[in-house]
A = this chain, B = another copy of it.
């Protein structure tokens, strides 16, 4: 965990509390081959996610995690890292880019940065917070960049 890990503490953040530029870092998560295969069998049953032998002949040259598996792990690490929003982390949507494959025994961690916040013009009780979440491996290489848009309530509305 880096210095800022858990800096949000148990305190819940409302829209007014969120600052563009805030950063949060997760602890590590090591992805095992069995987990890669199990996720793939359920959701993304392609040879390069399921079978080491078949994966060697693919464009990846070996077993790799489904991008959706990487995204799901990123969600887990982001929840642990923070920020902790008052209504939970309720995603409106996200843009995800897979830049490098995640391989068996890679150790991932995420860095979360708040990059924008937008008050709703039509609904005064809420706003949208945009983050940039980089998922890096043990060599510091970026495997995935995720830009989620999250629904966050305003404190004013909660106390009204």
A interface with B by C-beta (< 8 Å): 39, 42-48, 58-59, 66-69, 71-73, 75-76, 79, 87-98
Q: Do the beta carbons of B76 and A44 come within 8 Å of each other?
A: yes
Q: Do the beta carbons of B87 and A59 come within 8 Å of each other?
A: yes
Separation in Å of the A127 CB from the closest CB of chain B?
A: 14
19 A-B residue pairs with CB within 8 Å: A42-B72, A42-B76, A44-B72, A44-B75, A45-B79, A58-B87, A59-B87, A66-B75, A67-B91, A67-B94, A68-B68, A68-B72, A68-B75, A69-B72, A71-B71, A93-B95, A93-B98, A95-B95, A96-B96
Known: A68-B72, A93-B96, A95-B96. 14 other contacts (CB 8 A): A43-B73, A43-B75, A43-B76, A44-B72, A44-B79, A46-B79, A46-B89, A59-B87, A59-B90, A66-B75, A68-B75, A93-B97, A94-B95, A96-B96
Alpha-carbon gap, A64 to B69, bound state (A): 19
Question: Cβ of A97: which chain B residues have Cβ within 8 Å of it?
Answer: 92-93
Residue of B nearest to A147 (CB): B95
